[in-house]
Amino acid sequence: MNKKDYIEKAEENLLHVYNRFPVIFDYGKGVHLYDELDQEYLDFASGIGVMAFGYGNEDYEEVLTTQIKRITHTSNLYYHIPMVEAAEKLTKASGMDKVFFTNSGAEAIEGALKTAKKYAYTKNGPGDYEIIAMENSFHGRTVGSLSVTGTEHYREPFYPLMSGVKFATFNDFGSVLANLSDKTCAIIMETVQGEGGLYPADKEFLKKVRQLCDDEGILLILDEIQCGMGRTGSMFAFQQYDIKPDILTTAKALGNGVPVGAFAVTQNVAENSLVPGDHGTTYGGNPLCTAAVSQVFDMFEDYKLLDHVNKIAPYLEQVLDVLVEKYDFITERRGLGLMQGLVLTVPVKDVVTKALLDEKLVVLSAGKDVLRLLPPLVITERDVDEFKQKIESVFDTLS
């Protein structure tokens, strides 16, 4: 079949919930993707922040190939070595105490919400507990995660959702206080808002929220599904804020392409929340995905990847700042580390489409007006220069 036939066959058999671009990616190498005609694309999206080490990494692929030949699934009724090793490495890297592996980021959010509610139940007994979430946030598309996603058009078609959710203004501590009640059991937010437009939390704001949670005996849930795993220059973004959450969610680059997520909790939360029978998953934490997680953490150390991110990110920021000065339809740059966005006054979807189809450059959007960049963490200055050349070719046609 040719390209047109494949696309038609996909639309015939797949539920139409994605407006896919007319491109068929066949394989990847390094920070480049290749379509069925072997045309090369520079990837500055990394599968929406997933492919931290890029494509075709032999160290990673060897571990997964070996694990596939051994065993891929046992269920959580038994122990297996990759799960034990992955859990140890995740707790060490995050500073949290206990881990639950899931199949996705949305499932990690679901587990975090259940944990927070069970914690309140254990501490205070039955009650109509509430959660404070943030406007402009994105936590997933399941009923629970959608309930705490602070964008109305995502939620509206699916009401009624989970009750007891209030929305505060991100980086506005007064708004958080205004939504606080004696029923509040948790506050959830992204340390850096991703889908909402690349907004990092203000340090003063996050520290005040942490102190409020301590004072009131409620839990702080930080969603680092997109901004965690080295994306911002530390293993987890909250580590740059001198605070620690009670519950942490992670996914995306955690498995570098294998579908896996996790939520992690402090010892206090672990001792006062979920017990056998409260939560579970058939596939979560299976030998294949946790072998990937374990290898990812090893590669972060072996490649000194955090050092590399902190070296290359300023170069990318410098290039982006030049673009802001050069083009009058770019109003600002936002973001942290290798999680960057350019705010545009021209339709961002048109820019994303033109970049992909004309310049073979893969980029993303966020919100209504942000060009979002989530490149593999292994990019070099040469890759940034290639990005600059390609995106300027797009921007020049819009000037």
Report the chain's mean pLDDT, rounded to a whole number: 97
Pairing, β 247-250 against β 219-223: parallel
Give the bridge partners for 43, in sequence order. Answer: 362
pLDDT at 398: 86
Is 83 in contact with 287 (CB distance < 8 Å)?
yes
How far, in Å, CA of 366 to CA of 336, rounded? 15
Confidence band for 190, pLDDT divided at 50, 70 and 90:
very high
Per-residue pLDDT of 333-382, as tens digits, reads: 999 999 999 999 999 999 999 999 999 999 999 988 999 999 999 999 99
Per-residue pLDDT of 18-61, as tens digits, reads: 999 999 999 999 999 999 999 999 999 999 999 999 999 999 99
Question: What percent of the chain lies above the pLDDT cut of 90?
Answer: 98
pLDDT at residue 81 greater than cutoff 80: yes
Q: Region 198-225: what's the mean pLDDT? A: 98
Per-residue pLDDT of 287-309, as tens digits, reads: 999 999 999 999 999 999 999 99
Residues 214 and 230 in one domain: yes
pLDDT at residue 200 greater than cutoff 80: yes
Residues 282 and 193 in one domain: yes
Angstrom distances, CA of residue 252 to CA of 104, 230, 267 = 8, 11, 25
- pTM for the full model? 0.97
Cα maximum dimension of the chain: 63
Residues 361 and 224 in one domain: no
Residues 177 and 278 in one domain: yes
pLDDT at 367: 87
- 3-class secondary-structure state, position 366: strand
Q: Please spell the DSSP secondary structure of 78-130, one letter per residue.
A: S--HHHHHHHHHHHHHH--SEEEEESSHHHHHHHHHHHHHHHHHHHH-S---E
Residues 310 and 378 in one domain: yes
Question: What percent of the chain lies above the pLDDT cut of 70?
Answer: 100
pLDDT at 160: 95
How many helices (H) and strands (E) in the chain? 14, 17
How far, in Å, CA of 361 to CA of 350, rounded? 13
Residues 87 and 142 in one domain: yes
Pairing, β 40-43 against β 361-362: parallel
Which of these three, 302, 324, 347, is where a domain ends?
A: 302
pLDDT at 210: 98
Q: Region 228-232: what's the mean pLDDT? A: 98
Which of these three, 302, 331, 349, is where a domain ends?
A: 302
pLDDT at 128: 94
pLDDT at 168: 98
Q: Region 241-265: what's the mean pLDDT? A: 98
Is 194 in contact with 138 (CB distance < 8 Å)?
yes
Residues 354 and 209 in one domain: no
Per-residue pLDDT of 106-161, as tens digits, reads: 999 999 999 999 999 999 999 999 999 999 999 999 999 999 999 999 999 999 99
How far, in Å, CA of 55 to CA of 336, rounded? 23
Which of these three, 302, 329, 353, is where a domain ends?
A: 302
How far, in Å, CA of 249 to CA of 12, rounded? 36
Residues 275 and 342 in one domain: no
pLDDT at 125: 96
Q: What is the CATH number of the domain that holds 242?
A: 3.40.640.10
Confidence band for 395, pLDDT divided at 50, 70 and 90:
very high
Residues 103 and 38 in one domain: no
Tokens representing residue 222 in the block: 């930080």
Residues 340 and 366 in one domain: yes
Total domains in the fold of the chain? 2
Q: What is the CATH number of the domain that holds 360?
A: 3.90.1150.10
pLDDT at residue 399 greater than cutoff 80: no
Residues 290 and 223 in one domain: yes
Q: Which domain holds residue 328?
A: 3-53+304-398
Residues 82 and 43 in one domain: no
Q: Region 76-93: what's the mean pLDDT? A: 98
